[in-house]
Chain A
């Protein structure tokens, strides 16, 4: 499978270095190595979701209980989480770190991913969720750290987009 193991490890390490201790995930192809890493990590509470929106509630609970968390999902999971983001994370000022695989961009071969790919960034802008792209391994650690710092300072959700260049080895 051409999902980059090396870069998945870099993303995972960056999350761990930020003190993330709970990860809620709904797997998809680009996330398989990240989920496998979390499964093998005794220091992280991994919560496998039935639907992504649950993760907003779980992260909110974890935050109020003093635990740093992250959500791992694809952009269609973001679409499935909208009310939770607006009506819980934003309304209640929850710093929420969302790692979202950006399916459906340039290079996407699967027709079913393309509609979501075209609305993801505009949607984040509309939601006023600050986001950065993770495209190359060299900026991953810094962007993850800065995203978490902003989330904690603003007490709002932020997003990091896992891009094809980083996650996929053609």
Chain B
């Protein structure tokens, strides 16, 4: 499965969620499907997308928060699995696109998930109440919907090919994206009356 296909499969559901993606290929592929004010592309700070998602989920219990993570990124912040599990916000879905590589650096350097480490098993051992691994588009769509319906913290590992987009262009400046996303998250405060 390509990550772009997996993203396409869950894209309709993302319309009503606050979405935080990691940098590079994941961000660009989501952007290519159509930007929305509820999408935040964390264009750097490797490892912290899941922590940001946790911060949003704890601050806005009424918002469904989806983190689109990568294997290299979560491997850099494995403690985050234990912190998410500890507070287990019911409104957080942690998707990890596991391409077994650090793809966005330009050459595919294998990560430890390519040599046997399992992120789903680590999430489960960390105490994340629901975790699953999928490797088909249909499985991804269905498991993501189940995660949404479960109202339980879920780590969903989607095994994808180490293939990125044709280009990494995102025509929204990082700060524009940041302020737009903040406005989305605090939209109830901007209502008139």
Contact = CB atoms under 8 A, between A and B. Distances in A.
Contacts of B182: 63-66
Interface string B164-191: 0000000000110010011001100100
B115 interface: no
B180 to A, nearest CB: 10
A54 interface: yes
B83 to A, nearest CB: 5
Contacts of A83: 45-46
A75 B6 CA distance: 42
Contacts of B83: 47-50, 54
B48 A84 contact: yes
Contact of A88 (B44, B56, B175, B189): B44
Contacts of A55: 51
Contact of B56 (A47, A54, A62, A91): A62
B44 A53 contact: no
Interface stretch (B74-82, B98-106, B140-148): B74-82
Given A50-B83, A61-B54, A65-B186, 8 more contacts: A22-B55, A47-B83, A58-B54, A60-B55, A65-B59, A65-B182, A83-B45, A83-B46
Contacts, number: 114
Interface in B43-88: 44-60, 63, 77, 79-80, 82-83, 86-87
Best-surrounded residue of A45, A61, A62, A66 (most CB of chain B within 10 A): A61
Interface of A: 22, 45, 47-51, 53-67, 69, 83-84, 87-88, 91-93
Contacts of B30: none
A62 B48 contact: no
A120 B185 CA distance: 35
A134 B80 CA distance: 30
A92 B79 contact: no
Best-surrounded residue of A48, A56, A69, A88 (most CB of chain B within 10 A): A88
Nearest to B23: A87
Contacts of B55: 22, 47, 57-62, 65, 69
A56 B55 CA distance: 9
A65 B51 contact: no
B157 interface: no
Contact of A87 (B44, B59, B186): B44
B156 interface: no
B7 interface: no
Contacts of B79: 49-51, 54
A88 B186 contact: no
